[in-house]
Structure 1
């Protein structure tokens, strides 16, 4: 499903986890493009960007503690022993509206407790609006249960990474992680991980959740003379930064909660949690 506006183009893959398959300016990719084989196979986790619903990152050993109850979740990610990134990315979404510059897609989740899936019913929506200089992604989570449920939201974009790509963002703290990328300690952001002054992404290797984020980040590609301003509304005040070694991408993920902490985000019966993320592009 292709959206176009001015110099920008976004190709959506609703059947592949409600994901973005490609996002480009003047035909040049801003996010890593999704391979045709992955689009055909519906592999949302190989997308240019995919939704994080109803939680971000890992839930340790699949144990979800919520309001005095314990729920067991099954593994859902190849090679990872903890359930990760929710279930929106692994299911087909339905197209509710599309008109060339705007698209809205929906995923409705049924209880899957016996199989170790997410044990609460919910409806998730994503609305993509492409304008001449920006992509606006509006996300919503609706509780379909008659009781409170944990309700997280987030977006997982994979930015194209070049030797001179720079990142700027301000955060107050970061979670150190163990060998299984589970959070172990919240600490002030160390100088080596501080992007409060724009710096090259290739200077670090990270897979950590930052908090106290002000909702703004800037990615710059100097060689391309291109700048991307990312702005996120509430509840996105955590930021996962993932910079894997020897890859042609990095991730800056606006999320609503610290890794493994979705149980602290209750949403009442019939209530809706919403948030908006804007990607604005400009020339240097």
Structure 2
């Protein structure tokens, strides 16, 4: 079966490859340089596998978009201003009853335009029983020698107000000695099904604020009060010298997800606009700790974040 077309951007030593057919995902984000006459390559994100690209599997990509909601909705059931959400399970590899990450990650995106340093991907989704609002989405990937900027827009194409969440799902390499610093106010504790059960200002929260070696953590949790900045530090190794990456976001990406199971060669640090299952938690918690947005008809929600590598 022929491979789907990829979109390649370059700026200075940075390279970005997009996989529009695999959920509008990033396939790789790298530094390429010449050292002593030898071509070198360093991955800032976990690169997509050949099998993942062939199968259009977003879980095998470097990062994918989250919309029109982020993370899970309990049993795929929720109500919003007179409309019922009946979202079926959608995990490609697990039989979980709780659908996750929305719709965009499992649909092919259209390449609206592409140049050496910028690509625009778009998506149109009709209303359905799963998500009873029509919407459109747009991603603008801008690569500069200093880093990558991702702009996202989610537009309500329906005649009724739509609930919305937006974000991205980057996978980073987890090598020995990797450290992360990510200031937040509190963490959502989670049950065995990774659904929120309550807020905790202790535990990993002070560790992440000061900076912690990733191997000390074992998490799949949402955080509130994120200061919209995360720093990742890798020690020198066979892949390259000691290096860092800053992830910085703009509102409404005020929430943060950290997925870092022990023994995995990767971890996820996700800028998002709402916590897991926010629609079903509104009766019990204030909006400040839940996030989420109402988009009136014909209006839109925008989000932006950057990844800035440093050696």
Instruction: State the TM-score bracket (shorter-chain normalisation).
Output: over 0.9
1:51 and 1:82 mapped to 2: Cα distance? Answer: 18
User: Which residue does 2:264 correspond to in 1?
Assistant: 247
Greater shift after overlay, 237-246 or 181-190?
Answer: 181-190
1:87, CA displacement in angstroms? 1.0
**Contact 2:185-2:205 at 8 Å conserved across structures:** no
1:272 and 1:109 mapped to 2: Cα distance? Answer: 14
- TM-score, normalising length: structure 1: 0.95
Name the SS for the 2:48 alignment partner: coil
Structure 2: stretches of 5+ with no match in the other structure: 1-6, 33-40, 281-291
User: Which residue does 1:29 correspond to in 2?
Assistant: 43
Name the SS for the 2:149 alignment partner: strand
Distance 1:237 1:192, change over 3 A: closer
Matched, 1:163 2:176: yes
- TM-score, normalising length: structure 2: 0.87
User: Which residue does 2:20 correspond to in 1?
Assistant: 14
1:94-116 Cα shifts (integer Å, max 9, x gaps) = 00110011000001111121xxx
Aligned residues: 280
Out of 59, 62, 67, the position equivalent to 2:81 is 67
1:207-239 Cα shifts (integer Å, max 9, x gaps) = 000010111110111223111011000000000
Name the SS for the 1:269 alignment partner: coil
1:118, CA displacement in angstroms? 2.1
2:10 and 2:202 mapped to 1: Cα distance? Answer: 39
Structure 1: stretches of 5+ with no match in the other structure: none
1:138 and 1:192 mapped to 2: Cα distance? Answer: 28
User: Which residue does 1:51 correspond to in 2?
Assistant: 65
1:145-203 Cα shifts (integer Å, max 9, x gaps) = 01100111010000011111110011001100001001011121425763111211111
1:38, CA displacement in angstroms? 1.3
1:70, CA displacement in angstroms? 2.8
Aligned-residue Cα RMSD (Å) equals 1.3
2:215 and 2:9 mapped to 1: Cα distance? Answer: 32
1:193 and 1:69 mapped to 2: Cα distance? Answer: 40
2:253 and 2:219 mapped to 1: Cα distance? Answer: 20
1:245, CA displacement in angstroms? 2.2
Greater shift after overlay, 251-260 or 37-46?
Answer: 37-46
